[in-house]
Amino acid sequence: MMMMSSFNKMHILLCLLLATQLTTMAQGQTQIGFYNTTCPTFQTIVQATVQSAFRTNPAVAAGLLRMFFHDCFVLGCDASILLSGTSTERTAPPNLSLVGFEVIDAAKTQIETVCPGVVSCADILALAARDSVVLTGGTTWQVPTGRRDGLVSQASDTVNLPGFNEPISAQISKFADKNLNTQDLVALVGGHTIGTAACAVFSYRLYNFSGTNQPDPDINPTFLPQLRALCPNGGNASTRVALDTGSVNGFDTSYFVNVRNGRGVLESDAKLLSNPTTKAFVQKFSGAMGVPALRFDVEFARSMVKLGNTELKTGSQGEIRRVCSAINRSQ
């Protein structure tokens, strides 16, 4: 058998290295500072736009955070939720109450004047979600960028979103499908420390839970009258109630303290205590006595980066939209 020459060995090694590089490029990934040379001011523009909107309406922070979550859970973090039109994600029931679209549009308009065709709407949304957390008192973190905008948005795909009345097992499964573990689930659900929910979403827990004509037994009896006063039986279903009682616009650990004490508003929040693993993380994030603590703000930031890398479109995939509400070919 002929011995392989050093030249041939080197050639094969180089080919393998090139193949590995091409595979990595094809898969794509985000990176810190992706726009450092092509649009160095884009983060400043997004931050200023979110700050301006927040001063006018603090509720927009929770809206932008929820929008990012809903975007990433459907087809990945590709700004598909921003597309308008018949039967798009925006028209699906879980997304009808989302707010903050005009903030992303405003940031995009400004960015297009200085860096046309460079920055994706998906990256703008990722930055806006981070800035919303910071404005409400949460920690900051570096957001990897380089996402591309998707070309598809279908209301039917929102079945992938975790539901407000789903059992924990279903939620864990949906997070696992996005390569997010149980700690990520509890940390990200902790985003409910800011924001509200309409009475229509949870009032069934107050009066006729599971057809029993009784309240959900998971609700702390001292909390029940407070919720019933806010959402009287047969009252205005659109009335909105803080998900974190006493701290609606403050990004802190009080949400977990409330959940631990039976003061979770959504059924999915209360059910965090029904699973030993999710319950353990609620205790760790809330600083329960005798339990090793976990820094919620640090772990939330870590989980947000993981979520933000879900099913990425990078490189030549998708496009960079000129307007966030429509794909380029339709403009």
pLDDT digits (tens, 9 = 90+) for 53-66: 999 999 999 999 99
Give the list of residues 6+ apart from residue 1 with CB closer than 8 angstroms, or none.
Answer: none
Residue 17 — pLDDT band, cuts 50, 70, 90?
A: very low
Q: What is the pLDDT of residue 209?
A: 95
Q: Is residue 29 part of a domain?
A: no
What are the residue ranges of helices labelled H in 153-233? 168-176, 182-189, 199-202, 204-207, 224-230
Reply yes or no on whether the pLDDT at 14 is more than 60. no
Kindly state whether residues 225 and 266 are assigned to the same domain. yes
What pairs with residue 196 in β-bridges?
Answer: 242
Q: What is the pLDDT of residue 330?
A: 53
Kindly state whether residues 234 and 145 are assigned to the same domain. no
CA atoms within 13 A on the CB side of 50: 26
pLDDT digits (tens, 9 = 90+) for 241-277: 999 999 988 999 999 999 999 999 999 999 999 999 9
Q: Is residue 145 part of a domain?
A: yes
Q: What is the pLDDT of residue 331?
A: 52
Question: Among all residues, which ones are annotated catalytic?
Answer: 70
Q: Is residue 37 part of a domain?
A: no
Residue 10 — pLDDT band, cuts 50, 70, 90?
A: very low
Kindly state whether residues 81 and 146 are assigned to the same domain. yes
Reply yes or no on whether the pLDDT at 180 is more than 70. yes
- Global pTM exceeds 0.85: yes
What pairs with residue 194 in β-bridges?
Answer: 249
Q: What is the pLDDT of residue 199?
A: 96
Reply yes or no on whether the pLDDT at 1 is more than 90. no
Q: Is residue 143 part of a domain?
A: yes
Residue 319 — pLDDT band, cuts 50, 70, 90?
A: very high
Q: Is residue 36 part of a domain?
A: no
Question: In this structure, how many other beta carbons lie within 10 angstroms of the beta carbon of residue 66?
Answer: 22
Q: Is residue 212 part of a domain?
A: yes
Tell me how many domains the chain contains. Answer: 2
Share of the chain above pLDDT 70, in %: 91
324, 83, 307: which is closest to 190 by C-alpha? 307
CA atoms within 13 A on the CB side of 310: 28
Question: In this structure, how many other beta carbons lie within 10 angstroms of the beta carbon of residue 132?
Answer: 29
CA distance 63 to 258: 21
Residue 210 — pLDDT band, cuts 50, 70, 90?
A: very high
Kindly state whether residues 60 and 83 are assigned to the same domain. yes
Average pLDDT, the chain: 91
- Report helix angle 101-114 to 60-72, nearest 10: 80
CA distance 208 to 197: 18
Q: Is residue 261 part of a domain?
A: yes
Q: Is residue 35 part of a domain?
A: no
69, 97, 89: which is closest to 175 by C-alpha? 69
- Domain extent for 222: 168-307
CB 255 within 8 A of CB 193: yes
Residue 3 — pLDDT band, cuts 50, 70, 90?
A: very low
Kindly state whether residues 53 and 120 are assigned to the same domain. yes
Kindly state whether residues 174 and 298 are assigned to the same domain. yes
Exposure class string for 216-249: b at 16+ Cβ within 10 A, else e: bebbeeebbeebbebbeeeeeeeebbbbbbebbb
Q: What is the pLDDT of residue 292?
A: 85
List the CATH number of the domain containing 60.
Answer: 1.10.520.10
Kindly state whether residues 283 and 315 are assigned to the same domain. no
Give the list of residues 6+ apart from residue 276 with CB closer than 8 angstroms, or none.
Answer: none
